[in-house]
């Protein structure tokens, strides 16, 4: 495998957590001790706090992201948020296909594809989340599920647009459960995803694609996961709600670049 200089990407997915005061103090604490530009750092707060978080993050080396978007420009889509609205809030990245949206809300691969394409068309970095459930894993379907979700999620996405795509491999059984894939299992899934990108696009696209791991990543396991050759960072849920833990994970990314 050719190694390239993929810049690590560490995102904090706050999910439906915090209130206005907690979101404000969390972003203050995250920004306060952030002193690296060798890792792309992003936070994904709830929609309603985006403007305030973005105002605080302005000038800091941190991307502000949304946990979801809608793919139509505007119109009668009650409750939804368009990519233009996100850009109005200084958002520069969006999660698409997070497992909670797929499995709790019921989003299809087709909808995830529409959202991913809308994010890219708006110039946002789309973090396309994929991963297998426990049943699918037990059934030996991990690579097949990832392939289906990636082929569908990236349908119609050109090679030229891939600079705006990060893939997050998040085994559903590891999300919020405290269970983590072993570094070897995660690496196997990431390597297979990278080979898939090579077959869908080409080797250069594959070498350049950032593939990050999510699922109970924390300070105690981030370094060994990110030390794997095809793991380029993390999407962090629970541990992103504690600035010190989030920083320790960012530091694990920084040490991969040293």
Active site residues: 98, 170
Q: Two tokens at 164?
A: 């705006």
Q: Please tell me whether residue 53 binds ligand PGA under the rule CB under 6 A.
A: no
**Cβ-contact 63, 10 below 8 angstroms:** no
Give the C-alpha separation, 99 to 220, whole Å.
23
Residue closer to ligand PGA by CB (options 8, 215) is 215
Binder among 45, 65, 237, 253 for ligand PGA (CB under 6 A): 237
Between 187 and 226, how does the x/- string for binding to ligand PGA read (CB under 6 A)? ---------------------------xxxx---------
**For the chain, what percentages of helix, strand and coil (3-state, to nearest 5) are there?**
50, 15, 35
Q: Please tell me whether residue 13 binds ligand PGA under the rule CB under 6 A.
A: yes
Q: Two tokens at 99?
A: 């497992």
Residue closer to ligand PGA by CB (options 114, 239) is 239
Binder among 189, 238, 243, 249 for ligand PGA (CB under 6 A): 238
Residue closer to ligand PGA by CB (options 233, 238) is 238
Residue closer to ligand PGA by CB (options 87, 179) is 179
Q: How far is CA 184 from CA 21, 36, 106, 114, 253, in A?
A: 40, 28, 30, 32, 18
* DSSP-assigned letter for residue 239: G
Q: How far is CA 172 from CA 42, 179, 188, 240, in A?
A: 21, 10, 16, 18
Residue 15, sorted as left (phi over 0), alpha (psi -120 to 50) or beta, turns out to be: left
∠ CA(148), CA(15), CA(130), 5° rounding? 10
Between 85 and 124, how does the x/- string for binding to ligand PGA read (CB under 6 A)? ----------------------------------------
Q: Please tell me whether residue 170 binds ligand PGA under the rule CB under 6 A.
A: yes
Number of residues that bind ligand PGA (CB under 6 A): 13
Residue closer to ligand PGA by CB (options 209, 239) is 239
Q: Which of 253, 242, 254, 237 is nearest to 29 (CA)?
A: 242
Q: Please tell me whether residue 183 binds ligand PGA under the rule CB under 6 A.
A: no
Site residues, ligand PGA (CB under 6 A): 13, 170, 175-176, 214-217, 235-239
């Amino acid at each position: 495998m050719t190694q390239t200089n993929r810049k690590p990407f560490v995102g904090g997915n706050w999910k439906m957590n915090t209130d206005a005061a907690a979101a404000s103090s969390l972003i203050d604490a995250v920004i306060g001790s952030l002193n690296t530009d060798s890792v792309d750092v992003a936070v994904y707060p709830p929609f309603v706090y985006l403007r305030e978080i973005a105002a605080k993050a302005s000038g800091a080396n941190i991307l502000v992201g949304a946990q979801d978007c809608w793919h139509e420009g505007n119109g009668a889509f009650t409750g939804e948020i368009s990519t233009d609205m996100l850009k109005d809030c200084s958002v520069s990245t969006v999660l698409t296909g997070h497992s909670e949206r797929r499995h709790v809300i019921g989003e299809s691969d087709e909808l995830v594809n529409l959202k991913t394409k809308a994010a890219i068309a708006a110039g946002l970095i789309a973090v396309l989340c994929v991963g297998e459930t426990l049943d699918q894993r037990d059934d030996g379907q991990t690579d097949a599920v990832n392939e289906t979700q990636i082929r569908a999620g990236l349908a119609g996405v050109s090679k030229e647009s891939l600079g705006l795509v990060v893939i997050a491999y998040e085994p559903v059984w590891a999300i919020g459960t405290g269970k983590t894939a072993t570094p070897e299992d995660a690496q196997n899934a990431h390597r297979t995803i990278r080979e898939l990108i090579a077959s869908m696009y080409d080797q250069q696209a594959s070498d350049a694609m950032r593939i990050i791991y999510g699922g109970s990543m924390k300070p105690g396991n981030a370094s060994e996961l990110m030390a794997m050759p095809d793991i380029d960072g993390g999407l962090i849920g629970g541990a992103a709600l504690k600035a010190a833990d989030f920083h320790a994970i960012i530091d694990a990314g920084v040490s991969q670049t040293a």
